[in-house]
Structure 1
Amino acid sequence: MKRKSIYLIRHGETDLNRQGVVQGSGVNAPLNEWGEAQATAFFNAYQHVPFDKVYTSDLIRTHQTVRGFINQGIAHESYAGLNEISWGIREGREPNTGDNNYYRELTQAWSNGNVELASEEGESPVQVRDRQLPVIETILSRPHERNILVAMHGRAMRVLLTTLFKQPLFKMDDYGHSNLCLYKINYSYDTGLFEIELANDITHLLSLEIPQTV
């Protein structure tokens, strides 16, 4: 049976993550010190896996998250199709009640089935899915890549997972995520089906000391 194992991870923490600032695809923030520690912990836990390829979004926080694997000489491809959803004109702003209410209403509309609704000057879940599909097709067209590592973003991961499992997009919030979490997904070329082996797994981070906040 021909299979592909996909190790799907969310990027490590950025300062904006910690501050509760929405980054989306328009804010290209780097990892902070804790995010770098998360990346190192993941590398230490999974450096033994014989990855054939590393796939990332075009944003620096995903590149930095998998730097250890790329430095091993593993081939790397970057796709804008894996970027985070664009949250529009509110990206990068300090958290405030007005924006928080806007995001809450927007995501509630998505949960209610209005997945074609885009954020103001941003994207809808349907638009994110549509730009992910060519990347998914590219990845699946390479059966010789038996183990791959894919680093991307929280909301984009939720869209991707519902797409892989042929679920409606309004179910995307069923897939939890945290910084540097892992979904291990196995794909069968014989059946064309995906199965989840690990979901939102962070056991590789348990050895880290919780960062002190000031």
Structure 2
Amino acid sequence: MTEKHIFLIRHGETEFNKQGIIQGCGIDSDLNETGRKQALAFFEHYKNQPFNKIYVSTLKRTWQTVEPFLSKGIPIEKHAGLNEISWGKFEGTNMKDSPQFHFEKLIHAWRNGETNLAVGGGESPEDVAERQKPVLDLIFSRTEEKNILICMHGRAMRIFLCQLFRIPLKEMDRFLHANTALYHLIYDYKTDSIYAHAENCLKHLEM
């Protein structure tokens, strides 16, 4: 095998997403009705993809998003390394409330390259990248898996994409993705390179 197709999606909508409440890895929320519909729409659009394996975080919103694929007998693996970033004291707060100023200040610092910074009790992007690396190594070591589906979270997914494309973490906000947005990535083992066949794709929601 010379190529691996990676279908990387963000989980479906939760009530916290809808209300603008910061979740992080400390809040294990379920998909709401919209999120469940998004998950089914994604399944209907991609159910004929020959996925060898599905990778998710240990948080419910990721495996609930890919749950329809289990009816096809596709094996699934949960990895804590794929969990959302810990937002520490921001978790459970509304982005419109008073902590918003401090939240935006942290994001600005990350964009300036201070990716070692974390909110109190939380993780920095560098912390998240470090725990993602063993999962990345595992995925690429499994050369027999030609097509895989990975379901992750907004901020963790940005960090994951930076690692895949080998770009600085400070550039993570170039990757925008709504709930169930898809990145179809193709990794070439011969050249040790990766490119995007599709980015932030939501075609499945247009059906």
Pick the TM interval, shorter chain: over 0.9
Structure 1 ranges of 4+ moved more than 4 A: none
Identity of aligned residues (%): 48
Aligned position for 2:150: 150
Aligned position for 2:54: 54
Structure 1 Cα separation of the partners of residues 94 and 172 of structure 2: 26
Kept in 1: contact 2:129–2:159 (CA 8 A): yes
Kept in 1: contact 2:85–2:123 (CA 8 A): yes
CA RMSD of aligned residues (A): 0.9
Structure 2 Cα separation of the partners of residues 195 and 2 of structure 1: 14
* 2:76 is equivalent to residue 76 of structure 1: yes
Note the residue ranges of structure 2 that are not aligned, 5 or more in a row.
none
Aligned position for 1:177: 177
Deviations 1:152-183 (A, max 9, x none): 00100100111111100000000111000000
Aligned position for 2:159: 159
Structure 1 residue 96: Cα displacement: 4.1
Amino acid corresponding to residue 89 of structure 1 in structure 2: K
TM-score when normalising by structure 2: 0.98
Structure 1 residue 120: Cα displacement: 1.1
Aligned position for 1:141: 141
Partner-residue secondary structure (3-state), 1:66: helix
Note the residue ranges of structure 1 that are not aligned, 5 or more in a row.
208-214
Deviations 1:123-146 (A, max 9, x none): 000000000000000000001100
Structure 1 Cα separation of the partners of residues 65 and 189 of structure 2: 29
Deviations 1:53-77 (A, max 9, x none): 0000000000000001122210100
Structure 1 residue 35: Cα displacement: 0.2
TM-score when normalising by structure 1: 0.95
Amino acid corresponding to residue 15 of structure 2 in structure 1: D
Kept in 2: contact 1:54–1:70 (CA 8 A): no
Aligned position for 1:23: 23
Kept in 1: contact 2:28–2:59 (CA 8 A): yes
